[in-house]
Chain A
Amino acid sequence: MHLFWTDAGKLYKREPGSLVRTEVSLPAGTVQRSPFTRMSHVVIPGQRVVIFVGQFYQNLIWRGDTGQLLTMGIAAPTTAPTLAASGTGVTGVVTGRYTFAHVDADGVVVAESNMSPASNTLSLVNQGRLWTGFETTHTNARVNRIRLYISVDGDEYLHVPEEDIILGTASTDENVATNELDQETPGSMRRGVPPGFKYITYYANRAWGATGDDDSFRFSELDELESWPAVNELKTRDGRRVTSLKALSDQVVIGTRSSIQDVQGYSADDFNVRILTQDIGIISNGGAIVINDKLWFPSQDGYYRYGGGGFQFLMPNLRTYFREAYEADPQTYQDLVVAIDRRRHILKVLVPGEDSITRHPFYYVAHYLPCETEFGGVGGLPYWAFDERDNFDRTIGTLSEDGELLDRLYTGSCDGLVRLEDVAGNQDDDEDGAVDFEVRIVTKHFLPTGQGGDDAHTPVFGDLDVHVKSEDKAFTVSTYTGDDSATDAAEARWVKAEPASAATKQGRPLVAKTSHNFKTQNGAGKGGAVKITCTSPTVFEYRGIDWEFEPIGGNQTRDKT
């Protein structure tokens, strides 16, 4: 099932392949945070269970097998039951407690609270037990059963089988023999409702959550996603507030604004926090993601990755660009969203758009193959590019349709729609029929004879071969000549529009042209750059340029004698 949250606080579901979405009812009492906080979610492997935290003050859990969205965790009763003798059957000194539970149609206990306070002590001689004083309502709408636990002669509390009662029932009687009690006990009282988290992950068969309000983070009981005893809490070593929580292979990585720490170990006794770095932080939980067993995350000057052995900076070519953008709008950059397109081996980092202030989204696009030796790369840096879009995209994520071997990338926008990304042959971003995106390539600024000399002693640029295949759309070639900052000029020195290269002639299809020759004019300067743009092409390929120049300027070098 595909699930979509909106900032209106609504959840929608969609069957893979279906064009129809339907709204999912939220649990009663769910309240959205104000101001808006981005959802963090974790999908529990193999269970079709998703935990959602952040957007609401309550933590929510989706159970795909039943299609239910539930409030996570069940608060325990605060009122003790009362026991009295009734009927026949049991001998011993007993006390009773009860729990609230969510039991499914098959009788399986989905979630259960800690036990209530203990009842009065009752001595029985071949007598049954009359239970009264149950709380008859619960704030969590999923609670549908009360489960009884009895302690006989001071032994641990054991479940009274076949006696679970419907919530709302104020009393019941039973006489289950002591030797027929279930050996099931919640006597450790290790359940409990967690605080409202903003970050969630899953590691070592436990869910891990953090409120993001302080230096603490919590973990659930083993294989019990909804049991969060207060003692299952750890803190960052340096007291910094948690800004990110991500599972990575055999550790949980905890980010703060300016440090990164981890937890290793498989049992609660083994868990310990250690500092990995105090120089690098994680500024956005939604901007962090694991690729090939390495955590890619945004710090204040760009993306790093951590694979357990050390940190590698991935944006030396965009360090200042990223940092200045972050400093200009820290709130937006702390709300980054990232997703992987495994088919194209790219990572897309969304700087979210916002329609209410007409801020269009912006994407950093990392081609990660070059840096992943496991994927055939050479251990270098990723190649970065940018995507621009007219839609107001607010999120990006992956979905898999039935039968697909790999998931695909989708964006969610402020028009309430979800769209598949990078659809080959589709030149329209939002299927509104309007012209949408422009492919834009600007080469380096070539300085063929160096930067020396004055303006009267510069190269003159001449024939330009542009190796472009643009089958269906015309494209434009511009040149900017002069000093290094020539491309900052409002107007190009030379511009030429070239028609689409897959034209037909007299009804005969032509092979698409891939090289185009131009006579550039007025192209003198110490150097030059070429800009190529093409609007909404379906097939556009760039293979480079050949650009001729005269090393010493033309007229300026004529022999006047």
Chain B
Amino acid sequence: MAKQQPELGRKSPIRLRLGVDIDTFRGVNKENDPGAIHDTEFQDLVNARVLANGKVVGRGGQERIITDPMDGCVVDIVDDDPPYEPSASRLYYDVPGNLSHSRSVWGADSLDVHNFIGEVDMLEEYSRRFASYGGQLLVSRASTRAMESVNLETGETTVEFQELDDFIRAFAYFDFGDPEEGDKLIVAISDDATDKVKQWGGGGSVTEIGSGINGPDLLMPRLCTSENVHDDLFYANTDRLKRYNAGAWTNIALPGGLTKWQTRDLVDGGSLNRVFLCGYDDLATDVGKILSYDGATATVARTIANCTVVSAGAMLGSIFHYAWTHSGTGQVNIGRYDGSTWNDTYKNLTGDFAGIAGPVYRLYVFNSNLHAGLGGSGTHKLLRSHSGSVSGTWRSVHTDAGVVAGDMIAHTA
């Protein structure tokens, strides 16, 4: 008789699989006996996290946020500004339907949810401008040569004032010092003969401010106000920079060596205590430049190689950012200046969005992020930085087959 095969024990499993046997793991338990703790607890759990879906994952590593060590052990970390609160405003911007003056106005919230507002035919790209004043979203409209308010529900517009011979090409806000008046809306107007700067008094009322602004027909007037530079209103155009000073426009000499300066943007440098002019020197070198006026002297602050035009600028916090396109490769760049160092290629937008094409017609800060309105043939029309990091990966707010996005503005309806 054959020897009986010995019987081994029946195999039984300890089963502890997430999603099959249990719905979550719990944390560590060192209080109870290792054999007495719950199946989903651990004797030890180190450098791990229990996700809301029950899974245990490894924690992430670290990333330095400053490069230069401080003296001593860091013993307190403080943010003097409470966590960011999304603005109640929406960002309104224009996207063209085609090369004509037929444009559409769009709005987007802080989560990039955007919707179509309406058709408003606006000026050519560089001269297209929005304003937000008196609770109204205002546009400079091409067909009527008027400043019109936009009904944000219907997209219909209403003429607020109109000067039939003139195009309204720039807006600014300026406090003339009357404590009961507050900021006034300032408009820059160009017509066939002269430029003018006027103050809108509501309704159809406009009043020319200052004297001495008159000049030839110049298509790219720009305005800005600066609290830190004479606390004044500034005007720039082709070959000129002017300051509104005690009721008159005074000329500020541009740097020597420029052949024909073409302004594309005029930016208040805030805490950098200067006004920046973005543009290019026509005819001579054909290179993009940034001029700087510190209240005393205007100088060439930056000349960028392989750049035909510095097309836009904006302050994000205390740092000046500017946009330009590499004339050879077509790479769209955001440069920056922090008061001591220039970095022309701080952000390569083409690296994030292949196929985009400059120029950037507008840089604008909304919800603490830098937004860039793009021209050229690419489909991405409006890009923005994320989490306040200009050097990080950008996001596309709006794609469209049109050609350019000319302007944008934050406005609370």
- Taking beta carbons and an 8 Å cutoff, which residues of A are in contact with B? 1-10, 12, 14-21, 36, 38-39, 41, 43, 45-46, 48-50, 52, 55, 62, 64, 316-321, 344-346, 355, 365, 367, 369-370, 382-388, 391-392, 394-407, 410-431, 436-448, 451, 459-460, 462, 467, 484-485, 487, 527, 529, 531, 534, 536-554, 557-559, 561
Contact = CB atoms under 8 A, between A and B. Distances in A.
Contact of A400 (B21, B25, B83): B83
A436 B59 CA distance: 12
Contacts of A544: 16-18, 20-22, 25
B62 A559 contact: no
Contacts of A425: 60
Interface string B56-84: 11111111111111111111111111111
Contact of B77 (A395, A546, A549): A395
Contact of A542 (B29, B55, B367, B387): B55
Most A CB contacts (10 A, CB to CB) among B10, B64, B67, B80 go to B80
B73 A317 contact: no
B75 A1 contact: no
Contact of A367 (B18, B27, B80, B316): B27
For the complex of A and B, list the 7 residue pairs with the smallest distance between their C-beta atoms, beginning with the closest. A412-B74, A402-B388, A8-B72, A397-B77, A416-B69, A6-B72, A383-B27
B65 A6 contact: no
Contacts of B52: 345, 369
A541 B56 contact: yes
A39 B61 contact: no
Contact of B35 (A20, A397, A446, A549): A446
A447 B70 contact: no
B32 interface: yes
Interface in B10-49: 10-22, 25-35, 37-39, 41-49
Contacts of B12: 448, 548-551
B60 A421 contact: yes
A346 B78 CA distance: 19
B18 A395 contact: no
A418 B77 contact: yes
Q: Give the interface size class of chain B.
A: 35 or more
Contact of A549 (B11, B73, B338): B11
A6 B16 contact: no
A550 B73 contact: no
B190 to A, nearest CB: 36
A64 B80 contact: yes
Contact of B32 (A62, A317, A424, A542): A317
B317 interface: yes
A484 B38 CA distance: 14
B79 A399 contact: yes
A208 B133 CA distance: 42
Contacts of A460: 9
Contacts of B80: 1-3, 43, 48-50, 62, 64
B82 to A, nearest CB: 6
Contact of A399 (B18, B29, B50, B77): B77
B135 interface: no
A510 B61 CA distance: 25
B154 interface: no
Contacts of B369: 402-403
B61 A428 contact: yes
Contacts of A431: 61-64
A388 B44 CA distance: 12
Nearest to A3: B78
B386 interface: yes
6 contacts: A319-B31, A395-B76, A398-B77, A400-B83, A419-B63, A442-B45
A477 to B, nearest CB: 14
Contact of A426 (B4, B43, B63, B76): B63
Contact of A20 (B11, B13, B25, B66): B66
A438 B39 CA distance: 23
A385 B51 CA distance: 12
Contact of A19 (B16, B49, B58, B67): B67
Given A4-B77, A412-B75, A440 B70 contact: no
Given A6-B75, A407-B79, A554-B9, A385 B388 contact: no
Nearest to A41: B78
Nearest to A391: B62
A416 B74 contact: yes
Given A3-B76, A426-B62, 10 more contacts: A39-B75, A387-B59, A397-B78, A410-B65, A423-B62, A423-B63, A444-B38, A537-B58, A549-B13, A557-B7
A50 B30 contact: no
A402 B71 CA distance: 26
A417 B74 contact: yes
